[in-house]
Amino acid sequence: MINTRVLTEGDWQVWRELRLAALTEAPYAFGSQLADWQGDGDREERWRLRLAIPDSYNVVAMLDGPPVGMASGVPTDQDGVVELISMYVAPAGRGRGVGDHLLHAVEQRARQVGAGTLRLAVVEGNHNAWALYQRNGFHDMGELGDLMPDGIRREHIMIKRLAA
């Protein structure tokens, strides 16, 4: 059974564990690099601040107990737009509905705060993530996002319009 838990800044250790696992296991999928969050970057204050982004919604998914996935919904500078960030499902949760569950949780929260659009960035070549997002109603906008750490690939922007 999949359960979700909304995190507060006091849950920083749960978030830290999953985020470091994500950056270790799937570095190709993120604009952040593991090295940025290790050493001097691995500070309790920094992890707490990440979870304390104003009006953010940070959730983890547990599959029969331990956390196996994470996602956040954060406000943007565009009115009515929430951005999905830090989406990750550990290998133990893949193919079991965890990604869909996390997306639905963030989408539901976006609707609750009155957003009309849910936006995300996904790197080209991350086929499983693209399939997850398309299955859940996201569409590629044909807009390029940030340059990835490799200096070659770029993120692609996908959106989902939320019904009123």
Q: Which domains does the chain have, with CATH numbers?
A: 2-161 (3.40.630.30)
∠ at Cα 10 (62, 81), nearest 5°? 70
**Can you list the alpha helix ranges (DSSP code H) found in the chain?**
12-25, 44-51, 98-112, 127-135
Report which DSSP code applies to 148.
P
Of residues 125 and 56, the one with the higher pLDDT is 56
Least confident of 24-28, 117-121, 145-149: 145-149
Nearest CA among 72, 106, 113, 67 for reference residue 90: 67
**61-95 pLDDT, tens per residue?**
999 889 999 999 999 999 999 999 999 999 999 99
